[in-house]
């Protein structure tokens, strides 16, 4: 499970649009999210002193470059459709939940349910993620440099998970069409999840994700592909008959 590691402050990229600093010690979460919503596309924002604050930078639709400079709480960047968010610290539950597009990059670790239900976009966790990472994934990408906890990828319907470390118990339980790539060990597979042969397409997908994430400790040819055996897709009225 997540070792909530601290990371050093990331330097801001070249600033081309509006540049704003929002201070959690002076503003409520609502004020911060309202301010973010009022910014023009292409703006650069640094949110300082987050101190575990929940719900920062949620529900944003413009392309913004947002840096949250410190440890943050639950639901960071959730429901986003556009912004690229970097957290220089660790995050609590459900980072990037229901993400539609854009990126949420966490330099530290993440607690439970990282990237839950995300439809699109990419959630990148440089440290480890806790239980239920990528639960109910609906088309997004969840990439974790370290380990993930138990029941990760549970009922993931579409999209991709990349796990640079080890996976906890019941990985990919009741998977639908999502695919999970694991570089390390798998404690156990969940119901109806199986390891399949790696194709060239898989290797290409993982190589693209390694380039995107910077997780160069992952060798694209050496990951395990976990996908659904599709035995739970249909109710089998003739099977067992004991209920």
Partner 1 sequence: MCGIVGLHLKAAGREPDLGSLIAPMIDCMGSRGSDSAGLAIFSSPLPPGRFRYSVRLPEPGVEAQAQAGARRLAEELTAATGQPVECERVRPDGVVLAAGDDVDRVVEELVRARPGAVVMGFGRSLEIVKDTGSPREVCERFGIADRHGFQAVGHTRMATESAVTIDHSHPFAPTQDLAVVHNGSFSNPSTVRRKLEEEGITCITDNDTEVAARLIGRELSRGGDMHAALKEVGNEMDGFYTLLVATDREIAVVRDSFACKPLVVAETDEYVAITSEYIAMTSLPGIESAHVFEPKPEEIHVWQR
- Chain contacts with partner 1 (rule: CB under 8 A): 1-4, 6, 51-54, 71, 73-74, 90, 92-93, 111-112, 130-131, 149-151
Instruction: Give me 165's structure tokens.
Output: 């470390």
Least separation in angstroms between CB 52 and partner 1 = 3
Identify which of residues 77 and 102 has a Cβ nearer to partner 1 in the complex: 77
**Distance, CA of 216 to CA of 147 (rounded, Å):** 15
Nearer to partner 1, 131 or 205 (CB): 131
Please return the burial class of 28, using the count of CB atoms within 10 Å of its CB with bins 0-12, 13-18 and 19+.
Answer: exposed
Of 92 and 172, which CB lies nearer to partner 1 in the complex structure? 92
- Shortest spacing between CB 142 and partner 1, in angstroms: 18
The secondary structure of 107-134 as a DSSP string is SS-B-SSTTTT--SSEEEESS-B-TTTT
Shortest distance (Å) from residue 132 CB to partner 1: 9
Whether 159 and 140 have beta carbons less than 8 Å apart is answered as yes
Which CB sits closer to partner 1, 39 or 189?
189
CB of 135 to partner 1, least distance (A): 12
Rounded least distance, CB 130 to partner 1, Å: 6
Pick the closer one to partner 1 by CB: 22 or 91: 91
Strand ranges for 41-97 from DSSP E: 44-48, 65-69, 81-87
Question: CA 38, 61, 4, 220 torsion: positive or negative?
Answer: negative
């Amino acid at each position: 499970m997540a070792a909530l590691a601290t990371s050093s402050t990331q330097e801001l990229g070249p600033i081309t649009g509006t540049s704003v600093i929002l201070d959690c010690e002076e503003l409520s979460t609502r004020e911060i999210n309202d301010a973010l919503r009022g910014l023009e596309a292409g703006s650069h924002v640094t949110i300082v002193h987050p101190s575990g604050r929940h719900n920062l930078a949620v529900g944003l639709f413009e392309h913004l470059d947002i840096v949250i400079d410190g440890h943050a709480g639950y639901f960071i960047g959730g429901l986003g459709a556009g912004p690229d968010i970097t957290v220089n610290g660790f995050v609590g539950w459900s980072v990037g939940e229901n993400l539609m597009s854009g990126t949420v990059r966490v330099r530290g670790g993440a607690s439970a349910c990282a990237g839950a239900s995300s439809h699109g976009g990419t959630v990148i966790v440089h440290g480890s993620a806790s239980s239920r990472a990528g639960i109910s994934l609906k088309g997004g990408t969840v990439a974790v440099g370290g380990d993930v906890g138990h029941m990760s990828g549970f009922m993931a319907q579409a999209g991709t998970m990349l796990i640079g470390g080890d996976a906890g118990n019941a990985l990919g339980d009741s998977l639908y069409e999502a695919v999970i790539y694991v570089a390390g060990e798998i404690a156990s597979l969940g119901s109806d999840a199986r390891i399949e042969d790696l194709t060239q397409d898989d290797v290409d997908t993982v190589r693209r994700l390694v380039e995107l994430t910077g997780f160069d400790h992952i060798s694209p040819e050496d990951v395990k592909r976990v996908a659904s055996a599709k035995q739970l897709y249909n109710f089998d009225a003739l099977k067992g008959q004991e209920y």
